[in-house]
Structures are given as C-alpha cells and as structure tokens.
Structure 1
Amino acid sequence: MGAVCCRPQPIDFDGEVNLFHFMLLRCVGKGAFGKVRVVQHKQTRDLYALKYINKTKCVKMKAVPNVIQERRLLEEIDHPYVVNLRYAFQDDENCFFVLDLMLGGDLRFHLERLGSMPEDTVRFYMAQLSSALAFLHEMGIMHRDLKPDNILLDERGNAHLTDFNIAVHFGERKLTGVAGSMAYMAPEILMKRGYTYCIDWWSLGVCAYELIFGRRPFRGRSNSDLTYSISRDPLKWPDDADKKCTRNGMLVLKGLLERDPSKRFGCKPNGEGFQEMRRHPWFQPIDWDTLDSKEQTPPFTPDAKKANFDASHELEELLLEDNPLKAKARKANQDNLSAEMRQMEEQFTSYDFRKMQRRSYYPHNQHLISTATATSSGFQSSRPGTPANDLRVENSGLRVEGDSPAMMSAICMW
C-alpha cells in the first residue's frame, strides 16, 4: 500500500514550467538571498544553472524591483557571449532563473590562481565581450557591473557576460545614480556628471588591464582615495609592461581608459565605436566573421577534471541548510500577500525559451524578435564579490561605504 500512496505524480512537460521539470544537482554558488545550482531538465536532459531567490529575504532587502527588472531584461537578451535566460518561474518561496550553464568558472577565479593572463588570451576575451556589449548597447541596455567576477567561461574557454541585476535601459537622457562595483566604475559615475553606455567600455578597459598585468590601473586605500585615483590619476604602466603587452595593446587599453566619454574607445554612436575597435591593429588576429558562431578555438581551456568554483558551497548546502530546495506544489490561496509579494507574483512571469518568443517590456524595444543562440554549458559565478574597494549600489538606492567582506557578500548578490 505504501508504494501506491507514495508513487510520484506524472510531470506535465506540456504545462507551465516549474521546478518539478528539473533534477537538482550540485550547489555551486550563493548570494545574499539565494543560491545557484546545477540542474538537469528531466525531459531534454540538458544541463543549466538554476539561480533561485528567496522572496522573503528579497522583500526585506528592498530588492523586489531589481529582481523583476533583471527578469524582464534577460527575456529580451539573446547573444552567444551572454549567459542567456532559458526559463523563469516561481513557487511560494522562491523566484527561479534557469540560465546557460558555464562549466569553466569566472575570470576572478582564474586570475587569482594564475596571477595574470597572456595578452593573446585577454584579446580573445575582449573581442567576445565587446561583441556582447555592442549587442546590448544596440538594444539600449547598459550592464553597469562589468568585472572579472561577472565574466564566465564555458567548458571550451569562451567568455560570457553575466549578472544583469543592476543593468538598465538607457535613452537620450543621462543617468545620475551611482551603481556598480567601485573599482570598475567610470569617472563620470563617480563625479556624478551623468552617464550613458560609455561606462561599460571603461569597465572593459579596467578588466583587460587587470587580466594582463595582475593589478587594476587605479587603486586607493579608501573609497575617497579610489575615487580620486579613478578621476584624476594619470594612467601608469607596470615596470614590466612591455614584456606582457604590445604597444598596440596598450593603445587599446589607453583608449578604453579615456576619461572623456566622447573620446573613449568604443563610444562612437550608432555602433561605429565597435566597428572602430574591430579595425584596430591589435585585433587583427581575431576573425570577426566567425567569432559569434564560436568556430574559433579559445587560447585557454579550463581544466574539466577540476571544479572551477568554490566547492565549499556544496558542503555548506549539505551540512548547514535548514530548508533545502525541493519542488513543491503551489498553494491555492494567494489572497493574503503583502504588496511586495503580490508584485513578484504578478510581475515575475513565467518564461520558456522553447515555447515563447523573446520580447521586451521596454516601450522602445517592442519590435524585438528572438534570434536563437546555441545553449552553452557552464555555471554561474560562485565568487562572493570583487576584492577590496568593491562598492556596489543597487537601483533601490542602497549604498554601502567601505569594504567589509560581510557587507560585500550582502550587497554583491550575484
């Protein structure tokens, strides 16, 4: 009799996507109010990264607008070098993002182990990421938090941009809100002069400089010192710079780290900045015609025999989790929800990339039509955040001064 009463219910794969459709595998990362796990779709057997956000914690941290905004932005993004959204859904406790899986780890993970990276490798990443940025900017989206922690490698070594938690649409009017990770912020953000998509090209320059030389171009012991350095200090090169980077490479870095956005490399309007980058002599080894089809062999291949993430997350899940994740049927009565819970219930809508056309919730992008991209393998970043001087400010207005590791873990959610 016991076997009969405990027989699992059949899964309706033709119905709306839910957690019953997935097999839960290892935990590979965590944030302030959610975690990241590897999952496998029970019908297709495809592997994905599942990012799940606890609704109660999300409300307490006043992050509901960010979660909904990220959900909506991700629906309209579909690019080979972005960690794309494949499914979205919710249950009574969590909101779920099912994303392309990245098995190669994030660039912060690899940078800490290697110290620096060869110029050829960084050039390849920059080509892929510049393709992703050009696509986003054409869609009227700026990322606002480009840093090594948010660049993930697939199992072959291709670089992908992730974490759209503070990404926003932009128009003709400049934004003034301080947002991002301070060490990678463009000077126009810190000086509160108003900014637009050009800030992403500055952040790409900081990342490239850090990857090649193993240190960031502008540093400070405090937030005020770092602000001064980013805003005023001349760009300096390490003593052994000529051994790690060619003259053309330095010219690209110098162009990206130009304080005047109108002169910054990559920032010419109507996509001309990206075309100028493609024509630069430093990028001559890149075959741009086949780049987005991933036909080229990446210069660095992550070690598939090792876990390219912090394995302590899985141990913590096994030993310390008092409410482990499992699929649960939804409660029928949803009448007593708070305003914030009701907002998530209504606006964090389901998405299934196999059944639905991508669309934009932003008025200027209503014409959006999906373009299919191949699903990549890999996982979301397991790193808690950028090292010292990582100030991250969310759209909700939350601001943190200093570089307390506890604070950084709380604010640097994904």
Structure 2
Amino acid sequence: MGAICCTPDELDFGAEVELAHFYLLRVIGKGAFGKVRIIQHRQTGQEYALKYISKSRCIQLNATHNILAERRLLEKIEHPLIVNMRYAFQDEEHLFIGLDLMMGGSIQFLLDRYTTLKEIQVRFYVADLLCALDYLHGRRIAHRDIKPDNILLDDKGHAHLSDFNIATQFHPNKPQRFSRAGSLAYMSPEIVGKQGYSTFVDLWSLGVTTFELLFGKRPFTGTSTYQVTEAILHDELVFPDNALELISQDCIDVLRGLLNRSPSERYGCGQGGISSLKKHPWFRGIDWQAMVQKTATPPFKPNKDELNFDAVHELEEILLEEVPLRPHKRIAKTSIDTTQPETEESRHRQWMDDKFLTFDYTRTDLPDQHHRDSTTSAPFESTPSLVTTTTEMTLSPQTSIEENFPTGGGGVGTTGTRLLRKVESALDHYEQSKYKAQGYVLTPDG
C-alpha cells in the first residue's frame, strides 16, 4: 500500500511535488479516462484544478501520446487567457496535471443555463479568445478543438482557452497537417475534407462557437455524421430570420468572415492575420492590452455564491461508491524493475512512466524542466504501439456523441441540468466522510 501523509507538518514541500501536497476537494469534471477536481495546496492555500488520468485507461484507449503531447505543449506556453499548467507529476496508478482553476465554469455550462448569450457578452469572449489565439498562432500552435466546453471563465468573467489534448505545433519543415482531429460539429472544411491545414482551422471553430452562443444552435447540423460532414462542406450559411433583431450587422459580417470556407479569405487568416481582425468595426472600443492584462471589465461576472459546474460529477462519486483518489508514493525502481518489460502493455506503461516528467512552476531547479514560452519544440518521440495509435481524435465522451448524433443542439439537456442544480446546496454541505475514513485530513474549513 502507498503511504498516506496526514498533516502538512509531516510533508516535505522541498521535495518533488506529489498528490499528498494537496487537499482534495470536489470533483468538477469528467472525461473519457479521467476526472478534474479542485485541489488546494496544503502549504500555500492556493487552489488549482487537478486533471488526473488512469494509466491503465490511457493504455486501453491508446491515448498515451495525447496526454504526453498535451503535457509537453503546456510546459512551453503561458498566457493570461489560457488555462496554464502549474504542476505535472505521477504515482503508480495516475498521471496528474495541475492547472489554473477557473471558478466561473465553462461557456457550455453558461449556454445550458441561458440558452443564448447577449452580443456584448459574446463579443467580449471572442476578444479574449482572439488574444489567446494570437499568442498560440504566433508560435505555430493550433488548438484544433475550440468549442464551448473548452472555454472556461475565471471568477471575474474573462474567457480562457483550455484542454490542449489534441493541440499541435507546426514546424517549418512540416507546415501542414492532414489528419482528422477535433469535434466534428466544430471542424473546419479543410479538416473534414481531408485537405492540408494549418492554424487557420481555429478561426473556423471560433466562428461556429460564436454562432452557437448567439443563436443557441450551430450553423451546420444534421442527424448523422455524413449529414454534418456534407453540411460543413457544402451548405450555405443561414442566419435566423430575426438575426438583425438580435445582433448587429458588424457581428454578422464577422460570422460570415470566420465561417468562410476558403482559409486564405477567412477572417484572421489572411494578410495581417488576427491583428487585422482586431481592427474590425465589431471590436471598436476594445482595449486589447487591457484584455490581455485582464484589467478590462467583463460584461458578465459569474455568481461566486453559485456552483458553476455540473453537479452530476460530484453525485456520481458519492452515489457510485468509487474508490477515493488517494496519495501514493511512487515505488522506487530497482535494477530488476528497469529491465526490458515482458509484455507489450508493461513496455507501454514504462515508456509512459519515463516520459511524463515532473513539472512545478514554482521551481527552476528540477532536471529536464524546460523554459516556458519557447517558440519551437523537439518532435515528439514515437509511442510504443499496442494495436493502433489514436493520436489525432479527441477522446472525450462529448465528441463521440457528436460524431454519432451531431444534432443542432449542444451540451447537457436543460431539464437534467435544472434537476441537478437542486442538489447543489446539499453538496456544498457534504462532508467527505469516506475520504476521512481513508486517512485524509480535510481542508481547515471543510
């Protein structure tokens, strides 16, 4: 059994970061092979979002490359309007990535609650995202999965780009990609059509997201993967009949520009790039420096007295009686342990163990910890193959649903969301008794 540390006084905060350095708080998200929960550093009191992934699940889904690629990429970037990585570490069973905590929740959660958003609010979010994309594209990085689920609000109301699981960095000797990646409903025509593409695909996805936030539906829909694909490739962009009663003509022009099927003519992609798009009349009055510095006042501020996350994730953990996440010390490898693994799966796990390096943003003395904000990166090493390597398709449940049932709606049903919201107050008072029984010390106010 792994060692469980019980009090902050017994911990060595000067050693490499580990799970025992944090209090474990509520679960706020769940993906195909892991969860996201709030954690609090036991020494500093600072809160973060912890994304943790089962190593076994990664191997089963052939998702190891995605996780390692995301961790490497996040180490190289940092921007005020991106959900930045603060820690990366592992134990025998899980990989952990500590991220900036966004207490405002996702734009998808906001969309589920209000169905549509006001133009002034959407304009502010688009401006935030353009600042983030300007930074990424300047480093030849494409996110490839921009959608409401991957846009998170901080407690002030600024939008941040998150989830770099399928992001990619282009290089001078390989300026294009041809693989299909992303969530189908938000994919650009050049990805869907299996053409060569670059960072320009992000501006299309931003256009689809903007349309959805304003009108409560996506511009290109269907009842099957084939129908959605054909709509993206061939259907005319159609606005609701009352569009001009809801949004301005300048906003319509930006939507048409972002949803231009020709990458070279798409807004933010041609000569001048995103800098040129920032000069569009729709953004008149935006102080771009204030946006990056986050001194601009958002038109909407999340309610700090409400839970801005879907309560279903916490309910599942309570009701399904899952084994609690517990801090375990990594087992020191002996000379016998480090010999060639006997099976393909164990070889794959050892490769993952070796390549998922520790990262701690508070320290510069860790070996192999690279300097951030690099404009280049070394090519990723190949992943030991089990059967196939699904490195280019996002593995979240939402994407698999969208691929099979890509309807015009988005997100969780509003009836279910309202029902779940009724239990939020009860969850706020829920004492994590099963964690305490396993040897945890709860947060001082918990």
- Do these two structures clear the TM 0.5 threshold for a shared fold by scoring above it? yes
- Where does residue 362 of structure 2 map in the other structure? 354
Following superposition of structure 1 onto structure 2, how do residues 30-45 of structure 1 map, counting pairs within 5 Å? Answer: 30-45=30-45
**TM-score, normalisation: structure 1:** 0.85
Deviation digits for residues 299-340 of structure 1, max 9, x if unmatched? 111121111111121122123243210111222246175111
- Where does residue 254 of structure 2 map in the other structure? 252
Q: Deviation at 1:268?
A: 2.4
Question: Matches of 2:399 and 2:102 in 1, distance apart?
Answer: 19
Question: Matches of 2:254 and 2:400 in 1, distance apart?
Answer: 25
Following superposition of structure 1 onto structure 2, how do residues 358-397 of structure 1 map, counting pairs within 5 Å? Answer: 358-359=370-371, 364-365=376-377, 385=398, 390-391=402-403
Deviation digits for residues 192-239 of structure 1, max 9, x if unmatched? 111111000000011111111111111111111111111111111101
SS in 1 for 2:261: coil
Q: Tell me: CA distance 1:204–1:10, structure 2 relative to 1, closer, same or farther (3 Å).
A: same
- Where does residue 68 of structure 2 map in the other structure? 68
Which amino acid is the alignment partner of residue 193 of structure 1?
A: Q
Question: Matches of 1:113 and 1:402 in 2, distance apart?
Answer: 22
Question: Matches of 1:14 and 1:286 in 2, distance apart?
Answer: 44
Question: Matches of 1:6 and 1:96 in 2, distance apart?
Answer: 20
Q: Deviation at 1:45?
A: 0.6
Question: Is 1:147 matched up with 2:159?
Answer: no
Of the candidates 219, 233, 236, which is equivalent to residue 234 of structure 1?
236
Q: Tell me: CA distance 1:111–1:165, structure 2 relative to 1, closer, same or farther (3 Å).
A: same
Question: Matches of 2:286 and 2:9 in 1, distance apart?
Answer: 52
Question: Matches of 1:361 and 1:235 in 2, distance apart?
Answer: 38
- Where does residue 219 of structure 2 map in the other structure? 217
Question: Is 1:99 matched up with 2:112?
Answer: no
Of the candidates 164, 179, 182, which is equivalent to residue 180 of structure 1?
182
Q: Deviation at 1:386?
A: 6.2
Give percent identity, aligned residues only. Answer: 48
Which amino acid is the alignment partner of residue 253 of structure 1?
A: L
Q: Tell me: CA distance 1:48–1:361, structure 2 relative to 1, closer, same or farther (3 Å).
A: closer
- Where does residue 192 of structure 2 map in the other structure? 190
Which amino acid is the alignment partner of residue 65 of structure 1?
A: H
| Contact 1:149–1:386 (8 Å) recurs in 2 | no
Question: Matches of 1:6 and 1:247 in 2, distance apart?
Answer: 60
Question: Matches of 2:372 and 2:155 in 1, distance apart?
Answer: 30
Question: Matches of 1:309 and 1:158 in 2, distance apart?
Answer: 16
Structure 1: where are the runs of 5+ without partners?
367-382, 392-400, 410-414
Q: Tell me: CA distance 1:6–1:155, structure 2 relative to 1, closer, same or farther (3 Å).
A: closer
SS in 2 for 1:385: helix
Q: Tell me: CA distance 1:250–1:11, structure 2 relative to 1, closer, same or farther (3 Å).
A: same
- Where does residue 389 of structure 2 map in the other structure? none
Q: Which of structure 1's runs of 4+ aligned residues deviate more than 4 A?
A: 5-9, 360-363, 401-404
Question: Matches of 2:6 and 2:147 in 1, distance apart?
Answer: 48
Structure 2: where are the runs of 5+ without partners?
379-395, 413-446
SS in 2 for 1:364: coil
Q: Tell me: CA distance 1:386–1:243, structure 2 relative to 1, closer, same or farther (3 Å).
A: farther
- Where does residue 159 of structure 1 map in the other structure? 159
Q: Deviation at 1:385?
A: 2.5
* Cα RMSD for the two superposed structures: 2.4
